[in-house]
Amino acid sequence: MKRRDFLTKSSLLLGSSLLPVSNLLQASTALPALKTADWKGLRQQFALTHDYIHLATFLLASHPKPVAAAIERHRKAFDENPADYWHKHFMTIDHQIAATAAEYMGGEPWQIALTDSTTMGLALVYSGLKLRPGDEILQTVHDHYSTDLSLQLRADRTGAKVRQVTLYDDPAQVSVDEVVSKLKAAINAKTKVVAITWVHSSTGVKLPVRSIADMLHELNNRRAEAEQIVFCVDGVHGFGIENVDVSTLGCDFFIAGTHKWIFGPRGTGVIWGSERGWQHCNAVIPSFSQSYDVWLGGSRQDQVPIGEHMSPGGFHSFEHRWALPEAFKLHLQLGKADVQARIHQLNSQTKQGLANLAGVKLYTPMSPELSSGLVCFDYKQMSPEDVVKAMHKKGVIMSATPYRQSYARFAPSLVNNEQEIEQALATLNSV
């Protein structure tokens, strides 16, 4: 029996036990009655314990009620009838998820691939880049290990070379001109890919992506099409904070996990690619949904949206992936501009408070133009790990940057308030 025939027959068997695909993403428990910028009401949507001040929720999100309810609804349906539930929805639901993602992040649904994490997204894009022996990949010394290794593995397989550039000497004093000029100076005729990280989890520096894109656009205008630079951005630590449309940033790829600042289901992520970007990338893992139907003879490859073609197939934690739209809806309900303003407000309060404490060396820029979400610092002569342990004992959960040069790190988010920031600063001053 052909798969599409099976789907038809199984749909008849399902009767009214399952909702139509068009209603699936609207069927979750109604969103809480939150007004725009209702931060107190938002905090009540989380099961986060009140025994601690949580200044590390960016690491792995607690699920807010709308997301948790959607996960449970999908899980229940899978547990009751996994084969029918999956067959009923897997061909169309990825497009619906991508449509909700595009409503939040910008661009078009066909440009968006679904992944399980930032690391998976980086690996998929960098492993699929069309490179020739001798091509150069230019990245920065500020990137995460996931970027470093994904790029090096691709270079090893293609004969390309990876080179790193330092974009600033003192993160606290970084400027747009410094970043753009140092990156431009490092580009040469062999540079085919430029890979950067929007917000550095090592220092809290936010790079001026649009300014970098403008500089690269100028260089590309002087190059033949085959020699033009592909611009890739690890955007995870600005995604869910900054009020931007990713399609206007000027990059070719924007890659992010959605289980951090977005408060999405754990084990979810997205890739946005420009039309030009996707032309420079091959699929790495076979997709399901519509691409599977091509293999079965039900449609043509040119009918499959590129984002779906690039989304890894196989069986995922579907109850989590299919609940992702609820996180985007929650952020839209709160208001993207208000979310950005709130997090920057709490960040500024944190940085100003730290700057007034004896023994603190702040590494994150004061300016919101060049920072976002993460605030990194040294305290007295303590190691970052010892600062984290001491604060945990006093009821504050924070983190240390996972790099060779490590710093202590606060990350105020939408679940925090001004009083918690003041309490955390007072607690640090007592350590």
Share of the chain above pLDDT 90, in %: 86
Q: How far apart are CA 109 and CA 111, in angstroms?
A: 5
* pLDDT at site 31: 53
185's tokens: 């100076």
Residue 14 has pLDDT above 60, yes or no: no
* pLDDT at site 90: 87
What phi, psi does 314 have (nearest 5°)? 85, 180
**Mean per-residue pLDDT for 87-111?**
95
CA-nearest of 191, 129, 189, 122 to 162 is: 191
User: Considering Cα of 86, then 91, then 96, then 97, what sign does the dihedral take?
Assistant: positive
Q: Which long-range contacts (CB under 8 A, 24 or more apart) does 379-384 make?
A: 379/408, 379/428, 379/431, 382/431, 384/408, 384/409
* pLDDT at site 112: 98
Residue 19 has pLDDT above 50, yes or no: no
- Cross-strand pairs, 136: 161, 191
Element (H, E) at 272: strand 269-273
Please report how the helices 65-80 and 82-89 are oriented relative to each other, as an axis angle in degrees rounded to 10. 120
Instruction: Give the type of residue at 65.
Output: K
* pLDDT at site 302: 77
Q: Contact at 8 Å (CB) between 210 and 235?
A: no
pLDDT digits (tens, 9 = 90+) for 354-369: 999 999 999 999 999 9
Comma-separated ranges of CATH 3.90.1150.10 domains in the chain: 336-430
Element (H, E) at 187: none
Domain 336-430, second-level architecture:
Alpha-Beta Complex (3.90)
pLDDT digits (tens, 9 = 90+) for 70-92: 999 999 999 999 999 999 998 88
Number of neighbours of residue 400 by Cβ within 10 angstroms: 18
Instruction: Answer with the residue of higher pLDDT: 30 or 113.
Output: 113
Q: What share of the chain is helix, strand, coil (3-state, %, to 5)?
A: 45, 15, 40
Comma-separated ranges of CATH 3.40.640.10 domains in the chain: 96-332
β-pair type (408-410, 112-115): unpaired
pLDDT digits (tens, 9 = 90+) for 232-257: 999 999 999 999 999 999 999 999 99
Q: What is the 3-state secondary structure (H, E, C) of 192-240?
A: EEEEEECECCCCCEECCHHHHHHHHHHHHHCCCHHHCCEEEEECCCCCC
Residue 20 has pLDDT above 70, yes or no: no
pLDDT digits (tens, 9 = 90+) for 131-182: 999 999 999 999 999 999 999 999 999 999 999 999 999 999 999 999 999 9
* pLDDT at site 303: 78
Q: How far apart are CA 119 and CA 157, in angstroms?
A: 19
CATH 3.30.1370.110 is held by the domain 96-332: no
Residue 12 has pLDDT above 50, yes or no: no
Residue 293 has pLDDT above 80, yes or no: no
**Taking all residues of the chain, what is their mean pLDDT, rounded to a whole number?**
92
- Asked which of 50-54, 290-294, 300-304 is least confident by mean pLDDT, the reply is 290-294
Q: How far apart are CA 328 and CA 100, in angstroms?
A: 7
pLDDT digits (tens, 9 = 90+) for 376-409: 999 999 999 999 999 999 999 999 999 999 999 9
Residue 192 has pLDDT above 70, yes or no: yes
Q: How far apart are CA 98 and CA 110, in angstroms?
A: 7
Q: Contact at 8 Å (CB) between 32 and 329?
A: no
- In terms of phi and psi (left: phi > 0; alpha: psi -120 to 50; beta: otherwise), the region of 388 is alpha
pLDDT digits (tens, 9 = 90+) for 319-357: 999 999 999 999 999 999 999 999 999 999 999 999 999
Q: Tell me the pTM.
A: 0.92
* pLDDT at site 11: 40
